[in-house]
Structure 1
Amino acid sequence: MIRVGIIGATGYAGAEIARLILGHPEAEVVWYGSKSYIGQDFSDIYGNFFKIIDEKCLDDNIEELTNEVDVVFTATPQGLCASLINEDILNKVKVIDLSADFRLKDVSVYEEWYKIEHKAPTYIEEAVYGLCEINRDKVKGARLVANPGCYTTCSILTAYPLIKEGLIDPDTLIVDALSGVTGAGRGAKVANLYCEVNESCKPYGVANHRHTPEIEEQLGYAAGRPMVINFTPHLVPMNRGILATEYARLVKKDGKLPTKEDIRAAYEKYYKKELFIRILKDGVYPETRFVQGSNFVDIGFKIDERTGRVIMMGAIDNLVKGAAGQAVQNMNIMFGLEESMGLRLVPKCP
């Protein structure tokens, strides 16, 4: 059995990792780290685990706790993992970090967008960006994996094949994305109170959301050059889910614009064998309710012949494929297990 430790176990993503590992046949959680609830029963914080998990929350003393496990998930705010990581830890365990500490390869970009000093820049180059469907081979041998963000997972996977195949102009890409409230984390914030969120929809982080450089960097690798995009996130009154709607100008080849058959062929080329990516039928578009509670990414598209653009749409559960599910998927790859182990979850609907 793979012995698992979770730092930040009482956040939404940490608790979702705990839920997924409970159903994993080859892994078990050895300890639940939570600085906010030291000594309290984990099931007192999340009643859905009552009589399922009997463990108490421990401090996040990673130096001691890593002696008991094979892999540590750090589901923590930005900056914490970087402040804890060192060579001794990485020689003992594999680390899958759900924060942004090791996602960006340019430390100056990280510090500019996250407004904090990076505490472990020497590990940035080594860290593997854990977008499984694209970086699977790199993840296999990694000690440190940077688990992608939820907006970025959906936004990148939705556009990646068309950029990689040169079917769209990367400089024209616009991403509008909607997220459920759990994407903001479990901390108490006035903006996320029920009365502030219910019966409303609002944009936020306009032109300066922290996931922007992450999307640009990863899609830039696909384009073969740096990219600059417009990314606008929106908060909607639902618990889970992300829906990304993306627009880009089609690029002519041999004097002709790509057809819907060309677009579908590009998606099939990269995703046909991917269990967790579902390319929808013509005229069918993603809905968050059809991926809720699952590790699936649903992708649809529509060519707008009038404007010469393609509209790409993707949906994920932000806590599963956008966080915990992808983290477990990365763990499976790192330990040579079947990638889907513990993740064959049927979406919950209604």
Structure 2
Amino acid sequence: MDDAGRKIRVAVVGASGYTGVELLRLLINHPAVEITALTSESYADSSIEEVFPSLFGMLTLTCKKFDPREVAKQADLIFLAVPHNTAMTAAAELLPLGRKVIDLSADFRLRDPAVYRQWYGVDHAAPELLKEAVYALPEFYRQQLTTARLAAAPGCYPTAVLLGLLPLFKREVIDPDSLVIDAISGASGAGRKPDLPLHFAELYGNCKAYKVACHRHTPEIEQELSCCIGREVQVTFTPHLVATVRGILATITATFVTFKDAEELRTLYRECYQNEPFVRILPKGRLPETKQVRGSNLCDIGLAVDARTRRAIVVVAIDNLVKGASGQAIQAMNVMMGLDERTGLQLAPLFP
């Protein structure tokens, strides 16, 4: 609810993609929100029930083509669930109309327009907004989000990696130059657009590394880690695709500069995240699994220490469509609109 007790009017631009429908699934049950407008270029003039039969009887809005003035008339806050290189123009059109924007693409995650061009291959259309955009990882940017009008939802891989690493960086107990990050993702992380490697016959029964040494989430991870310690950090990041729909599992290793045993490491993480409602530090002997967080906004972190090599091992699991995208965007919305951060997101994981 806003200050006058009215529900917050929310629009989803790009409602027909995976992150779009996940936003709708979560927002339908959000007690302080009214979904008032949906857009889709592919499904313009189609009822959202036709696009997603799973929403039958729950939401009856019709998708329209994106018109910034019409969307701004109907909504107080707009989620942009559109592709990279598209969101930047939409945000630049919506912000002057007095609306708050949360972008789920990569268009406002990188603060340097030259880095954006290097990794995304185009000039940024709204570089003046990059310094204003708040990186919407609430666990570390909560205060900045309270006054933000433009938030950039982190990528799925960076969400898992940063939640796994930032406690170590803040306590300065590891060598920042020793990081090795291996992560796996389900197929939904690639979006809904058909692509041959994601066809059932190509994907099922397979596991493969992809975009080795060139994945676009690399500079996002490096930017936030560098910001944390005030100097440039580079990482070795290798993503993998596995034959599942949802989930990110990241395994991170780093060399200690101040050695901690496993219990000391767990204590460090518990202290860092003791007031965070969506981060769970697992007890001794347990490591995260993607099935244990599926459908939820939770982030599970498990810890181990290799005393022989003096390396910390951090394992992180999230649902890429919830904590890695739409759920985290709603968490950021709650902060931006002065709501309890947990509102609409207190969902137990699906199992099995």
The answer to whether TM tops 0.5 is yes
Is 1:260 equivalent to 2:262 in the alignment? yes
CA distance in 2, matches of 1:209, 1:224: 23
CA distance in 2, matches of 1:153, 1:126: 20
Report the alpha carbon displacement of residue 155 of structure 1 after superposing the two structures with TM.
Answer: 0.6
Partner residue, 1:287: 289
Partner residue, 2:317: 315
Is 1:109 equivalent to 2:115 in the alignment? yes
Is 1:72 equivalent to 2:78 in the alignment? yes
Q: Of the candidates 113, 124, 127, which is equivalent to residue 133 of structure 2? A: 127
CA distance in 1, matches of 2:107, 2:267: 35
The amino acid that maps onto 1:323 is A
Q: Of the candidates 81, 87, 100, which is equivalent to residue 81 of structure 1? A: 87
Report the alpha carbon displacement of residue 261 of structure 1 after superposing the two structures with TM.
Answer: 2.9
SS in 2 for 1:142: coil
Verify the 8 A CA contact 1:34 1:57 in the aligned structure 2: yes
SS in 2 for 1:86: helix
Is 1:186 equivalent to 2:188 in the alignment? no
Which residues in structure 2 correspond to 1:212-227 (within 5 Å)?
A: 212-227=218-233
Distance 1:198 1:88, change over 3 A: closer
CA distance in 1, matches of 2:211, 2:57: 41
Q: Of the candidates 28, 37, 41, which is equivalent to residue 22 of structure 1? A: 28
Report the alpha carbon displacement of residue 97 of structure 1 after superposing the two structures with TM.
Answer: 0.2
CA distance in 2, matches of 1:313, 1:150: 15
The amino acid that maps onto 1:303 is V
CA deviations over 1:67-106 (Å, ceiling 9, x no partner):
1110000011111111123376345210000001110111
CA deviations over 1:8-44 (Å, ceiling 9, x no partner):
1010001000111101000011011100000111111
Partner residue, 2:3: none
SS in 1 for 2:345: coil
Aligned length: 346
Verify the 8 A CA contact 1:245 1:311 in the aligned structure 2: yes
Deviation above 6 Å: which 4+ runs of structure 1? none
CA distance in 1, matches of 2:125, 2:187: 29
CA deviations over 1:129-170 (Å, ceiling 9, x no partner):
000100000000000000000000001101110111111111
The amino acid that maps onto 2:8 is I
Deviates more, 1:86-95 or 1:59-68: 86-95
Query: Percent identity at matched positions?
Result: 45
- RMSD of equivalent CA atoms: 1.0
Q: Of the candidates 323, 332, 336, which is equivalent to residue 334 of structure 1? A: 336
SS in 2 for 1:35: coil
CA distance in 1, matches of 2:326, 2:91: 20
Q: Of the candidates 22, 28, 41, which is equivalent to residue 35 of structure 1? A: 41
Verify the 8 A CA contact 2:94 2:101 in the aligned structure 1: no
Q: Report the TM-score when normalising by structure 1.
A: 0.97
CA distance in 2, matches of 1:135, 1:176: 25
Partner residue, 1:158: 164
CA deviations over 1:203-256 (Å, ceiling 9, x no partner):
11100000000001111122221100000110001110000000110113xxxx
Q: Of the candidates 169, 191, 199, which is equivalent to residue 175 of structure 2? A: 169
Verify the 8 A CA contact 2:254 2:313 in the aligned structure 1: yes
CA distance in 2, matches of 1:236, 1:86: 36
